[in-house]
Amino acid sequence: SQTIHQWPATLVQPVGSPLSLECTVEGTSNPNLYWYRQAAGRGLQLLFYSVGIGQISSEVPQNLSASRPQDRQFILSSKKLLLSDSGFYLCAWSVESRQPQHFGDGTRLSIL
């Protein structure tokens, strides 16, 4: 069966520090991968999605970037974190486009 792993579960970072959140999927090949952010009391907002290695699409202008160095690995990064980057970040995968997405456990990021 397929599983998705996301880490760390929680992270506290100072403003201006770098960020790296990692997500890996097991049990499937060439999945579509997604990064979402959930602000407090809000639904999820799509940040990035990827349909293959090295292929990244960005949905909103922001301070973050994403990379997909391997088929089942998706990384969310920032060179300098802002206070507004605080939130709950969720990684998700699907077998192909427009299909149900399955989510990881999320990372709670707090910026001080």
Partner 1 sequence: AQTVTQSQPEMSVQEAETVTLSCTYDTSESNYYLFWYKQPPSRQMILVIRQEAYKQQNATENRFSVNFQKAAKSFSLKISDSQLGDTAMYFCAFIQKGGGADGLTFGKGTHLIIQP
Buried b (16+ CB within 10 A) or exposed e, 76-105: bebeebeeebbbbbbbbbbeeeeeebbebe
From 15-23, 30-38, 67-75, 79-87, span contacting partner 1 (CB under 8 A): 30-38
- For residue 83, the minimal CB distance to partner 1 (Å) is 21
| φ/ψ (deg, to 5) at 79 | -85, -35
Q: Is 69 in the site for partner 1 (CB under 8 A)?
A: no
Q: Is 21 in the site for partner 1 (CB under 8 A)?
A: no
**54/100 with CB nearer partner 1:** 100
* 19, 23, 90, 109: residue in contact with partner 1 (rule CB under 8 A): 90
Residue 20 vs residues 42, 74, 101: alpha-carbon distances, Å: 23, 10, 22
Q: Is residue 6 within 8 Å of 108, Cβ to Cβ?
A: no
Residues that bind partner 1 (CB under 8 A): 32, 34, 36, 41-46, 49, 51, 57, 59, 88, 90, 92, 97-98, 100-106, 108
